[in-house]
Amino acid sequence: MRLHIVLMFVLLLQACKSGESRTGDADSVATPSQAAMAADTDSTVTAAASAAQRLCQVDTLPAGVQRKVTGGDTLVLGLQREGEPGPEYLVVDGPFEYEFFVVYPHAPQALSRNPTSDEFRAMETFSFQVDQLIGKQWVYGSADTERVFREPGIYLLTWGLNFESEAACIQDSIRVLYCPDG
């Protein structure tokens, strides 16, 4: 599922740059291989947590990761590009198969600590303290907000326009390695 989402983001980014629009289709029923993967979740999460801790102990960043952040760091995202409207959503894809909406159109009241989609669209930069960022996990029926950066690992922050539509356009993204203790 995570690979499917990442590939869809890459296709959308390419479509956005070429002026086209593409949409992906998601299966609503788990395949046998997806069910088998779900059965191994506990051992996978344990192994991934160990791997993330090891990444935090080395001096070089993994391929594709632009920055290492700790809990007390402030991250600043440059949102505006010349000739483009500002983004209306920010989604964070974290380790261990979870994804959070931080800013998106028609957000529930629970996200009131975060900027609205209209406020976000007008911002030139969006800065936040890493260990204070909240979001709504992408789980059907969930209305609760949670801390986004809560486990060590690699996080993908993506922002753009027209979320969940045929005209979806990813404007930019950044991949960071989160190490709570530095």
The per-residue pLDDT for range 104-143, each reduced to its tens digit, is 887 766 567 889 888 999 999 999 999 999 998 877 777 7
Based on the structure, what is the number of domains in the chain?
A: 1
The per-residue pLDDT for range 78-97, each reduced to its tens digit, is 998 787 888 999 999 998 77
SS3 content of the chain, % helix, strand, coil (to 5): 30, 30, 45
pLDDT score at 20? 39
pLDDT score at 49? 62
pTM greater than 0.85 (yes/no): no
Q: Which residues, listed in sequence order, are joined to residue 172 by a DSSP beta bridge?
A: 159
The domain in which residue 147 lies consists of 2-178
* Residue owning tokens 């995570």: 2
Q: Which residues of 62-80 are buried (b: 16+ CB within 10 A; e: fewer)?
A: eeebeebbbbebebebebe
* Of 158, 182, 178, 151, the residue nearest 65 (C-alpha): 178
* Of 7, 1, 176, 10, the residue nearest 94 (C-alpha): 176
CA distances from 63 to 28, 39, 170, 176 (A): 32, 29, 21, 11
